[in-house]
């Protein structure tokens, strides 16, 4: 591949000072350097040929055009419309979805201007209704000059009451607002946690009208939210054509706007929109999400890799790998293709955490373990604090990031087998010019589009998640058996002998 620059950010200020590394690509000022993937010119040509055979360009067009690419649920995957700041019509079965989306933007902006004297926001939601906003709130808190309203933002996801107890020990009930986020509005963790919060507000002396004033919902099930008792003008809708893990761009991202202002939320959407334009329009050979997807496919074909890691050298992005885990593994962790036949490849296990901390944890295995684990190193050019030490520390952070990639690629010979580094361990470097709402949006959309591209290459539907349902069904009779308190529960159709023994032990 030759060096190639594609900037789809409208009126982009060119943040790319200096010469890009040979063979690197850029979009929206994000640089992708795949030089350590070990893929030669011929390898790339074959990969792009594979992409053409898989009709990847057609898939991308279909996705943006609102075709029903989520076949099992007979829906489109139109999350890109949620960040379509151009407001150009996006037709879903002949109807433009943009007026409904812009109406929600207007309501979010109005709400941002309305909240005064709020000390605490409790965001209740799990999975896709949690990771995106939680990651964004955390990440943007590190932007040195960000304009923050300074509310305490609490994220309540787990049914484990530890999280609930921690939040309630800090929140001030009379100045708390609660945002219940659930696409289905039936998720048990979320509805039970919401009931617990309402009970806490009541027990803290809030009147019914104060509670009504405090409660908000974000959902695709408006009826469910109303039945829960949320006032209609406190319900922010989104739609069934937005997958939960792709939903941070909808009102699910409300905390971002409430804490950092609507303008920041718009910048977040703008970064994602710019990355969408790139994904939609750039040729395969210079298309960042496509190149990243093909690099992973190459490592699957060549080394049969079963895991890959995403290591952001940015503490602000510590939540990024968790967000990515749901994105990749819930989207593509499937054994059956769209044609109902066994899929040749599927999502590898994804893991990671912030560098340089991660180096002091599992990097030993990266360097000398028997498995090859490709890595996405994600670095930010500008330091993420305005501390006087920032420049010096940041240099060390970056040098560690670069050194790890080099050590992994080349390895080291030594007469002592214990000190041999085999090398040839593939990695990519993604470099953001700085971490702000715009580039955070661009980064998340880059990975969303890469996940979709991988699904297309593997012939997997990336937009359903049937595999998460069975365990939820089985939990019901088990909960009933635990509630019975009996230590003589017998195995039956829904509880097998092993689980019955565990229930009996817990109940004894």
127 binds ligand F6P (CB under 6 A): yes
- Judge whether 360 counts as a catalytic residue: yes
Q: Which of 34, 187, 264, 449 binds ligand F6P (CB under 6 A)?
A: 187
Q: Which stretch binds ligand F6P (CB under 6 A): 101-109, 178-186, 254-262, 397-405?
A: 178-186
Q: Which residues contact 369 (CB under 8 A, 6 or more apart)?
A: none
> Shortest distance, CB of residue 129 to ligand F6P, whole angstroms?
4
Contacts 24+ apart (CB under 8 A), 104-113: 104/236, 104/237, 104/238, 104/250, 104/251, 105/262, 107/236, 107/251, 108/236, 108/251, 108/254, 108/257, 108/262, 108/265, 109/257, 109/262, 111/254, 111/257, 111/258, 112/257, 112/258, 112/261, 112/262
244 binds ligand F6P (CB under 6 A): yes
Q: Which of 1, 39, 124, 126 binds ligand F6P (CB under 6 A)?
A: 126
Q: Which residues contact 258 (CB under 8 A, 6 or more apart)?
A: 111, 112, 115, 121, 149, 151
- Judge whether 330 counts as a catalytic residue: yes
Q: Which is nearer to ligand F6P, 387 or 472 (CB)?
A: 472
Q: Which of 26, 37, 80, 129 binds ligand F6P (CB under 6 A)?
A: 129
The two structure tokens encoding residue 136: 């964004």
Inter-residue contact 278 to 5 (CB < 8 Å): no
Q: How many residues bind ligand F6P (CB under 6 A)?
A: 14
465 binds ligand F6P (CB under 6 A): yes
CA 499 – CA 496 distance, rounded (Å):
5
CA 274 – CA 262 distance, rounded (Å):
18
Inter-residue contact 92 to 80 (CB < 8 Å): no
CA 222 → CA 185, 236, 379, distances in Å? 8, 8, 40
Q: Which is nearer to ligand F6P, 136 or 182 (CB)?
A: 182
User: What is the enclosing helix (H) or strand (E) of 235?
Assistant: strand 235-237
Q: Which is nearer to ligand F6P, 7 or 187 (CB)?
A: 187
245 binds ligand F6P (CB under 6 A): yes
134 binds ligand F6P (CB under 6 A): no
Residues 328-357 that bind ligand F6P (CB under 6 A): 330
> Shortest distance, CB of residue 371 to ligand F6P, whole angstroms?
28
172 binds ligand F6P (CB under 6 A): no
CA 488 – CA 508 distance, rounded (Å):
9
The site string for ligand F6P over 304-333 (x = CB under 6 A, - otherwise) reads --------------------------x---
Longest CA–CA span in the chain (Å) reads 76
Inter-residue contact 240 to 68 (CB < 8 Å): no
> Shortest distance, CB of residue 328 to ligand F6P, whole angstroms?
13
- Judge whether 49 counts as a catalytic residue: no
237 binds ligand F6P (CB under 6 A): no
CA 296 – CA 429 distance, rounded (Å):
13
Q: Which of 183, 278, 394, 450 binds ligand F6P (CB under 6 A)?
A: 183
Q: Which of 128, 374, 426, 441 binds ligand F6P (CB under 6 A)?
A: 128
Q: Which of 50, 148, 184, 507 binds ligand F6P (CB under 6 A)?
A: 184
DSSP of 412-433: B--SSGGG-B-----EEEEEES
Catalytic residue among 208, 472, 476, 488: 472
Residues known to be catalytic: 330, 360, 472
Residue ranges binding ligand F6P (CB under 6 A): 126-129, 182-184, 187, 190, 244-245, 330, 465, 468
């Amino acid at each position: 591949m030759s060096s190639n620059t594609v900037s789809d950010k409208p009126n982009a200020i060119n943040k790319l000072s200096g010469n890009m590394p040979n063979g690197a690509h850029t979009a929206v000022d994000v640089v992708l350097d795949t030089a350590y993937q070990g893929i030669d010119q011929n390898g790339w040509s074959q990969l792009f040929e594979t992409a053409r055979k898989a009709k990847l360009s057609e898939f991308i067009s279909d996705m943006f055009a609102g075709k029903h690419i989520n076949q099992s649920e007979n829906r489109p995957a139109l999350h890109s419309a949620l960040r379509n700041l151009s407001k150009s019509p996006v037709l879903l079965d002949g109807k433009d979805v943009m007026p409904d989306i812009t109406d929600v933007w207007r309501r979010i902006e109005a709400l941002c201007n309305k909240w005064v004297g709020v000390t605490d926001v409790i965001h209740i939601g799990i999975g896709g209704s949690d990771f995106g906003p939680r990651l964004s709130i955390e990440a943007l808190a590190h932007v040195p000059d960000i304009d923050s309203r300074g509310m305490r933002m609490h994220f309540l996801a787990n049914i484990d009451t530890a999280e609930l107890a921690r939040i309630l020990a800090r929140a001030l009930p009379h100045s708390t607002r609660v945002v219940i986020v659930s696409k289905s509005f039936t998720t048990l963790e979320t509805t039970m946690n919401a009931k617990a919060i309402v009970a806490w507000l009541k027990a803290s002396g809030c009147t019914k009208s104060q509670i009504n004033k405090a409660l908000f919902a974000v959902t695709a099930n408006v009826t469910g939210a109303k039945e829960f008792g949320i006032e209609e003008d406190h319900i922010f809708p989104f739609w069934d054509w937005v997958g939960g893990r792709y939903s941070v761009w909808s009102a699910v991202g409300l905390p971002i706007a409430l804490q950092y202002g609507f303008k920041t939320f718009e910048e977040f959407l703008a970064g994602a929109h710019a990355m969408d334009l790139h994904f939609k329009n750039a040729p395969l050979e210079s298309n960042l999400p496509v190149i990243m997807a093909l690099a992973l496919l190459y490592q699957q074909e060549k080394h049969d890799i079963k895991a890959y890691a995403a290591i952001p050298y940015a503490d602000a992005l510590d939540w990024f790998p968790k967000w990515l885990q749901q994105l990749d593994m819930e989207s593509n962790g499937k054994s059956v293709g769209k044609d109902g036949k066994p899929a040749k490849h599927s999502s590898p296990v994804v893991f990671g955490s912030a560098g340089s901390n991660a180096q002091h944890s599992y990097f030993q295995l990266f360097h000398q373990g028997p498995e090859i684990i490709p890595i996405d190193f994600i670095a930010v050019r500008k330091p993420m604090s305005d501390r006087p030490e920032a420049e010096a520390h940041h240099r060390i952070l970056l040098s560690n990031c670069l050194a790890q990639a080099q050590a992994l690629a080349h390895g080291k010979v030594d007469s002592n087998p214990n000190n041999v580094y085999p090398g040839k361990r593939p990695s990519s470097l993604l470099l953001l010019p700085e971490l702000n709402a715009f580039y955070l949006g661009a980064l998340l959309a880059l990975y969303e589009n890469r996940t979709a591209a991988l699904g297309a290459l593997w012939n997997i539907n990336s937009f359903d998640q049937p595999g998460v349902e069975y365990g939820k069904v089985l939990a019901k009779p088990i909960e009933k058996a635990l509630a019975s308190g009996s230590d003589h529960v017998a195995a039956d159709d829904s509880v097998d002998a092993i689980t019955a023994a565990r229930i009996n032990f817990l109940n004894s």
